[in-house]
Amino acid sequence: MDERVSARGAGRIGSRLAALPVAVRAPARTLVMGVVNVTPDSFSDGGRWFDAAGAVERGLSLLDEGADLLDVGGESTRPGAARVPVEEELARVLPVVEQLVAHGAVVSVDTTRAVVAAQAVDRGAVLVNDVSGGLADPDMASVVARTGAAYVAMHWRGHADVMDAHDAYDDVVAEVRRELAQRVAVLRDAGVRDEQVVLDPGLGFAKTGESNWPLLAHLPELVADGYPVLVGASRKRFLGHLMAGPDGTPAPPAARDDATAAVTALAAAAGVWAVRVHEVRASVAAVRVAARWRDAQQDVAGRATAGRATAEQTTGPTTQDATTRHATTGAAREGAR
Protein backbone atom coordinates (compact mmCIF):
# COMPACT_ATOMS: atom_id res chain seq x y z
CA MET A 1 0.00 0.00 0.00
CA ASP A 2 3.00 2.34 0.29
CA GLU A 3 2.70 3.32 -3.35
CA ARG A 4 -0.50 5.16 -2.44
CA VAL A 5 1.44 7.65 -0.34
CA SER A 6 2.73 10.77 -2.06
CA ALA A 7 4.15 14.16 -1.16
CA ARG A 8 0.89 15.71 -2.30
CA GLY A 9 -1.04 13.60 0.21
CA ALA A 10 1.34 14.05 3.11
CA GLY A 11 0.16 17.45 4.30
CA ARG A 12 -2.39 18.54 6.83
CA ILE A 13 -4.33 15.27 7.02
CA GLY A 14 -1.16 13.22 7.34
CA SER A 15 -0.06 15.21 10.37
CA ARG A 16 -3.46 14.71 12.00
CA LEU A 17 -3.94 10.95 11.80
CA ALA A 18 -0.76 9.95 13.54
CA ALA A 19 -2.52 6.96 15.15
CA LEU A 20 -2.93 5.25 11.77
CA PRO A 21 -0.41 3.36 9.64
CA VAL A 22 1.30 5.71 7.20
CA ALA A 23 -0.36 4.14 4.14
CA VAL A 24 -3.79 5.26 5.32
CA ARG A 25 -2.63 8.34 7.19
CA ALA A 26 -1.44 10.35 4.20
CA PRO A 27 -3.01 8.81 1.10
CA ALA A 28 -2.47 10.05 -2.43
CA ARG A 29 -6.18 9.56 -3.03
CA THR A 30 -9.41 9.12 -1.08
CA LEU A 31 -9.41 5.79 0.76
CA VAL A 32 -12.04 3.08 0.48
CA MET A 33 -13.29 1.59 3.73
CA GLY A 34 -15.00 -1.76 3.28
CA VAL A 35 -17.94 -2.66 5.52
CA VAL A 36 -17.88 -5.97 7.42
CA ASN A 37 -21.26 -6.44 9.10
CA VAL A 38 -21.27 -9.14 11.78
CA THR A 39 -25.01 -8.78 12.32
CA PRO A 40 -28.09 -10.84 11.46
CA ASP A 41 -30.21 -7.80 10.60
CA SER A 42 -28.11 -5.43 8.50
CA PHE A 43 -30.21 -3.37 6.10
CA SER A 44 -27.74 -4.03 3.28
CA ASP A 45 -26.86 -7.72 3.43
CA GLY A 46 -29.35 -9.33 5.83
CA GLY A 47 -26.77 -11.26 7.81
CA ARG A 48 -24.90 -12.96 4.95
CA TRP A 49 -21.65 -12.89 6.93
CA PHE A 50 -22.97 -13.16 10.47
CA ASP A 51 -20.62 -15.88 11.76
CA ALA A 52 -16.99 -14.98 12.46
CA ALA A 53 -15.51 -17.21 9.77
CA GLY A 54 -17.81 -15.79 7.11
CA ALA A 55 -17.11 -12.22 8.24
CA VAL A 56 -13.35 -12.74 8.07
CA GLU A 57 -13.69 -14.28 4.61
CA ARG A 58 -15.77 -11.32 3.54
CA GLY A 59 -13.20 -8.89 4.88
CA LEU A 60 -10.36 -10.62 3.05
CA SER A 61 -12.40 -10.55 -0.14
CA LEU A 62 -12.90 -6.79 0.21
CA LEU A 63 -9.15 -6.38 0.68
CA ASP A 64 -8.53 -8.36 -2.50
CA GLU A 65 -10.88 -5.99 -4.33
CA GLY A 66 -8.88 -2.98 -3.20
CA ALA A 67 -10.25 -1.90 0.19
CA ASP A 68 -7.73 0.17 2.14
CA LEU A 69 -9.24 -0.54 5.55
CA LEU A 70 -12.09 -2.56 7.00
CA ASP A 71 -14.86 -1.40 9.33
CA VAL A 72 -16.14 -4.22 11.56
CA GLY A 73 -19.49 -3.73 13.29
CA GLY A 74 -21.64 -5.96 15.47
CA GLU A 75 -24.75 -3.82 15.94
CA SER A 76 -27.07 -2.72 13.16
CA THR A 77 -27.83 0.99 12.95
CA ARG A 78 -30.50 0.63 10.28
CA PRO A 79 -33.60 2.76 10.86
CA GLY A 80 -35.73 1.20 13.58
CA ALA A 81 -33.12 -1.32 14.74
CA ALA A 82 -33.11 -2.35 18.40
CA ARG A 83 -29.91 -2.38 20.42
CA VAL A 84 -28.10 -5.63 21.22
CA PRO A 85 -26.62 -6.52 24.61
CA VAL A 86 -23.01 -5.42 24.99
CA GLU A 87 -21.90 -9.01 25.60
CA GLU A 88 -23.38 -10.03 22.26
CA GLU A 89 -21.70 -7.15 20.44
CA LEU A 90 -18.34 -8.10 21.95
CA ALA A 91 -18.80 -11.75 20.97
CA ARG A 92 -19.58 -10.77 17.40
CA VAL A 93 -16.86 -8.20 16.87
CA LEU A 94 -13.71 -9.18 18.75
CA PRO A 95 -12.88 -12.48 17.01
CA VAL A 96 -13.30 -10.86 13.60
CA VAL A 97 -11.16 -7.86 14.49
CA GLU A 98 -8.43 -10.10 15.87
CA GLN A 99 -8.35 -12.40 12.84
CA LEU A 100 -8.42 -9.60 10.26
CA VAL A 101 -5.58 -7.81 12.05
CA ALA A 102 -3.63 -11.08 12.01
CA HIS A 103 -4.06 -11.13 8.23
CA GLY A 104 -2.51 -7.66 8.01
CA ALA A 105 -5.69 -5.62 7.57
CA VAL A 106 -6.04 -2.06 8.84
CA VAL A 107 -9.15 -2.44 10.98
CA SER A 108 -11.74 0.00 12.30
CA VAL A 109 -14.38 -0.97 14.84
CA ASP A 110 -17.89 0.37 14.25
CA THR A 111 -19.37 0.85 17.72
CA THR A 112 -20.99 3.40 20.01
CA ARG A 113 -19.87 1.62 23.17
CA ALA A 114 -16.66 2.53 24.99
CA VAL A 115 -16.04 -0.99 26.28
CA VAL A 116 -16.30 -2.47 22.77
CA ALA A 117 -14.00 0.22 21.41
CA ALA A 118 -11.41 -0.38 24.13
CA GLN A 119 -11.32 -4.14 23.69
CA ALA A 120 -11.23 -3.91 19.91
CA VAL A 121 -8.27 -1.51 20.06
CA ASP A 122 -6.55 -3.93 22.47
CA ARG A 123 -6.91 -6.56 19.73
CA GLY A 124 -5.41 -4.38 17.04
CA ALA A 125 -8.09 -2.04 15.71
CA VAL A 126 -6.55 1.38 15.00
CA LEU A 127 -9.71 3.41 14.43
CA VAL A 128 -13.02 3.70 16.30
CA ASN A 129 -15.96 4.57 14.06
CA ASP A 130 -18.63 5.92 16.42
CA VAL A 131 -21.87 6.89 14.66
CA SER A 132 -22.97 8.73 17.79
CA GLY A 133 -19.92 10.97 17.99
CA GLY A 134 -19.62 10.07 21.66
CA LEU A 135 -23.18 10.98 22.57
CA ALA A 136 -24.31 7.38 23.15
CA ASP A 137 -21.64 6.59 25.75
CA PRO A 138 -20.05 9.30 27.91
CA ASP A 139 -17.01 7.07 28.50
CA MET A 140 -16.10 6.92 24.80
CA ALA A 141 -14.04 10.12 24.76
CA SER A 142 -11.85 8.99 27.67
CA VAL A 143 -11.24 5.62 26.00
CA VAL A 144 -10.17 7.33 22.78
CA ALA A 145 -7.90 9.68 24.72
CA ARG A 146 -6.34 6.80 26.67
CA THR A 147 -5.79 4.47 23.72
CA GLY A 148 -4.68 7.13 21.25
CA ALA A 149 -6.76 5.47 18.51
CA ALA A 150 -8.05 7.47 15.58
CA TYR A 151 -11.70 8.34 16.05
CA VAL A 152 -14.57 9.05 13.67
CA ALA A 153 -17.08 11.44 15.22
CA MET A 154 -20.27 11.26 13.17
CA HIS A 155 -23.16 13.69 13.26
CA TRP A 156 -25.95 12.01 15.24
CA ARG A 157 -29.17 12.99 16.98
CA GLY A 158 -30.46 9.72 18.39
CA HIS A 159 -30.43 5.92 18.20
CA ALA A 160 -31.79 4.04 15.20
CA ASP A 161 -35.25 3.58 16.69
CA VAL A 162 -35.85 7.34 17.07
CA MET A 163 -33.46 9.08 14.69
CA ASP A 164 -35.97 9.72 11.90
CA ALA A 165 -37.98 11.94 14.23
CA HIS A 166 -34.97 14.28 14.46
CA ASP A 167 -34.82 15.10 10.75
CA ALA A 168 -35.67 18.78 11.28
CA TYR A 169 -33.25 21.46 10.12
CA ASP A 170 -33.43 25.12 9.21
CA ASP A 171 -30.00 24.90 7.55
CA VAL A 172 -28.73 21.34 7.56
CA VAL A 173 -25.18 22.22 6.49
CA ALA A 174 -24.70 24.92 9.13
CA GLU A 175 -26.32 22.83 11.86
CA VAL A 176 -24.30 19.69 11.11
CA ARG A 177 -21.06 21.68 11.09
CA ARG A 178 -21.98 23.38 14.35
CA GLU A 179 -22.97 20.14 16.08
CA LEU A 180 -19.79 18.41 14.91
CA ALA A 181 -17.76 21.32 16.27
CA GLN A 182 -19.49 20.80 19.62
CA ARG A 183 -18.46 17.15 19.61
CA VAL A 184 -14.85 18.12 18.85
CA ALA A 185 -14.89 20.50 21.82
CA VAL A 186 -16.09 17.70 24.11
CA LEU A 187 -13.39 15.37 22.79
CA ARG A 188 -10.70 17.98 23.40
CA ASP A 189 -11.91 18.50 26.94
CA ALA A 190 -11.51 14.75 27.52
CA GLY A 191 -7.92 14.81 26.26
CA VAL A 192 -8.46 13.61 22.70
CA ARG A 193 -5.93 15.24 20.38
CA ASP A 194 -7.02 16.91 17.16
CA GLU A 195 -4.78 14.58 15.18
CA GLN A 196 -6.94 11.63 16.27
CA VAL A 197 -10.22 13.02 14.92
CA VAL A 198 -12.10 12.31 11.70
CA LEU A 199 -15.51 13.89 11.03
CA ASP A 200 -18.51 12.31 9.32
CA PRO A 201 -21.64 14.31 8.32
CA GLY A 202 -23.85 11.30 9.11
CA LEU A 203 -25.71 10.75 5.87
CA GLY A 204 -28.98 8.91 6.57
CA PHE A 205 -28.81 9.46 10.33
CA ALA A 206 -31.59 11.87 11.33
CA LYS A 207 -31.67 12.64 7.61
CA THR A 208 -34.33 10.59 5.85
CA GLY A 209 -34.13 12.01 2.35
CA GLU A 210 -33.59 15.52 1.02
CA SER A 211 -31.47 16.59 4.00
CA ASN A 212 -28.60 14.48 2.65
CA TRP A 213 -28.10 16.27 -0.64
CA PRO A 214 -27.06 19.71 0.68
CA LEU A 215 -24.43 17.99 2.83
CA LEU A 216 -22.97 16.27 -0.22
CA ALA A 217 -23.06 19.49 -2.23
CA HIS A 218 -21.19 21.32 0.54
CA LEU A 219 -18.56 18.68 1.30
CA PRO A 220 -15.74 21.09 0.32
CA GLU A 221 -16.81 23.33 3.22
CA LEU A 222 -16.63 20.45 5.68
CA VAL A 223 -13.24 19.44 4.29
CA ALA A 224 -12.08 23.04 4.63
CA ASP A 225 -12.85 22.92 8.37
CA GLY A 226 -9.52 21.13 8.65
CA TYR A 227 -10.36 17.60 9.79
CA PRO A 228 -10.23 14.47 7.64
CA VAL A 229 -13.76 13.62 6.47
CA LEU A 230 -15.38 10.20 6.13
CA VAL A 231 -18.49 9.86 3.95
CA GLY A 232 -20.86 6.91 4.32
CA ALA A 233 -23.46 7.11 1.55
CA SER A 234 -23.35 3.45 0.60
CA ARG A 235 -26.77 1.94 -0.14
CA LYS A 236 -28.53 4.55 2.00
CA ARG A 237 -32.27 5.19 1.71
CA PHE A 238 -31.91 8.49 -0.09
CA LEU A 239 -30.14 6.68 -2.93
CA GLY A 240 -32.94 4.12 -3.01
CA HIS A 241 -35.45 6.93 -3.45
CA LEU A 242 -33.31 8.51 -6.15
CA MET A 243 -33.18 5.23 -8.08
CA ALA A 244 -36.87 4.38 -7.55
CA GLY A 245 -38.73 2.44 -10.23
CA PRO A 246 -41.55 3.81 -12.39
CA ASP A 247 -44.08 3.01 -9.68
CA GLY A 248 -42.09 4.95 -7.08
CA THR A 249 -40.84 1.90 -5.22
CA PRO A 250 -37.33 2.63 -3.87
CA ALA A 251 -34.53 0.56 -5.32
CA PRO A 252 -33.45 -2.22 -2.92
CA PRO A 253 -30.07 -1.85 -1.19
CA ALA A 254 -28.13 -4.07 -3.56
CA ALA A 255 -29.41 -2.03 -6.51
CA ARG A 256 -27.92 1.18 -5.10
CA ASP A 257 -24.26 0.33 -5.68
CA ASP A 258 -23.96 2.24 -8.96
CA ALA A 259 -25.35 5.36 -7.30
CA THR A 260 -22.98 4.76 -4.39
CA ALA A 261 -20.00 4.72 -6.76
CA ALA A 262 -21.18 8.01 -8.27
CA VAL A 263 -21.29 9.60 -4.82
CA THR A 264 -17.84 8.16 -4.14
CA ALA A 265 -16.41 9.89 -7.20
CA LEU A 266 -17.94 13.24 -6.28
CA ALA A 267 -16.92 12.95 -2.62
CA ALA A 268 -13.37 12.05 -3.62
CA ALA A 269 -13.26 15.01 -6.00
CA ALA A 270 -14.29 17.17 -3.03
CA GLY A 271 -11.24 15.93 -1.11
CA VAL A 272 -12.68 13.63 1.54
CA TRP A 273 -10.28 11.34 3.37
CA ALA A 274 -12.31 8.14 2.95
CA VAL A 275 -15.61 6.66 1.83
CA ARG A 276 -17.31 3.78 3.62
CA VAL A 277 -18.91 1.29 1.20
CA HIS A 278 -20.37 -2.19 1.10
CA GLU A 279 -19.00 -3.09 -2.35
CA VAL A 280 -15.54 -1.70 -2.92
CA ARG A 281 -14.53 -2.50 -6.50
CA ALA A 282 -16.45 0.30 -8.24
CA SER A 283 -15.55 2.79 -5.52
CA VAL A 284 -11.85 1.97 -5.87
CA ALA A 285 -12.13 2.85 -9.56
CA ALA A 286 -14.11 5.98 -8.72
CA VAL A 287 -11.53 7.35 -6.27
CA ARG A 288 -8.72 6.73 -8.74
CA VAL A 289 -10.57 8.66 -11.44
CA ALA A 290 -11.25 11.48 -8.98
CA ALA A 291 -7.58 11.60 -7.95
CA ARG A 292 -6.43 12.00 -11.54
CA TRP A 293 -9.15 14.57 -12.11
CA ARG A 294 -7.95 16.64 -9.13
CA ASP A 295 -4.33 16.31 -10.18
CA ALA A 296 -5.19 17.56 -13.67
CA GLN A 297 -7.13 20.51 -12.23
CA GLN A 298 -4.19 21.44 -10.02
CA ASP A 299 -1.75 21.13 -12.92
CA VAL A 300 -3.92 23.37 -15.11
CA ALA A 301 -4.27 25.92 -12.30
CA GLY A 302 -0.52 25.83 -11.70
CA ARG A 303 0.29 26.41 -15.36
CA ALA A 304 -2.18 29.29 -15.52
CA THR A 305 -0.61 30.93 -12.47
CA ALA A 306 2.89 30.44 -13.86
CA GLY A 307 1.77 31.84 -17.21
CA ARG A 308 0.39 34.99 -15.64
CA ALA A 309 3.58 35.52 -13.63
CA THR A 310 5.73 35.09 -16.73
CA ALA A 311 3.58 37.50 -18.73
CA GLU A 312 3.89 40.17 -16.06
CA GLN A 313 7.66 39.74 -15.93
CA THR A 314 8.10 40.08 -19.71
CA THR A 315 5.51 42.71 -20.59
CA GLY A 316 5.75 45.01 -17.58
CA PRO A 317 2.84 46.43 -15.63
CA THR A 318 -0.69 45.30 -16.33
CA THR A 319 -3.24 47.64 -17.88
CA GLN A 320 -4.55 48.45 -14.44
CA ASP A 321 -1.06 49.26 -13.21
CA ALA A 322 -0.40 51.48 -16.22
CA THR A 323 -3.70 53.30 -15.76
CA THR A 324 -2.97 53.88 -12.11
CA ARG A 325 0.51 55.17 -12.95
CA HIS A 326 -0.88 57.53 -15.61
CA ALA A 327 -3.46 58.90 -13.17
CA THR A 328 -0.81 59.43 -10.52
CA THR A 329 1.51 61.17 -12.97
CA GLY A 330 -1.34 63.38 -14.16
CA ALA A 331 -2.19 64.38 -10.63
CA ALA A 332 1.43 65.28 -10.01
CA ARG A 333 1.44 67.49 -13.06
CA GLU A 334 -1.72 69.24 -11.93
CA GLY A 335 -0.09 69.87 -8.58
CA ALA A 336 3.01 71.33 -10.28
CA ARG A 337 0.83 73.84 -12.08
User: Which residues have a catalytic role annotated?
Assistant: 236, 276
Whole-number Å distance between alpha carbons of 26 and 17: 8
Whole-number Å distance between alpha carbons of 125 and 109: 6
Return all residues near 309 (Cβ < 8 A) that are at least 6 apart: none
Q: Side chain identity at 120, as an amino acid letter?
A: A
Dihedrals phi, psi of 209, to nearest 5 degrees: -155, -95
Buried-state track 33-54, b at ≥16 Cβ within 10 A, e below 16: bbbbbbbebbbbbeeebbebee
77, 97 contact by CB (below 8 A): no
Burial degree of 91 (CB within 10 A; 0-12, 13-18, 19+): middle
Short-list 151, 116, 102, 161, CA closest to 131 = 151
How many Cβ atoms sit within 10 Å of the Cβ of residue 83? 16
Whole-number Å distance between alpha carbons of 198 and 228: 5
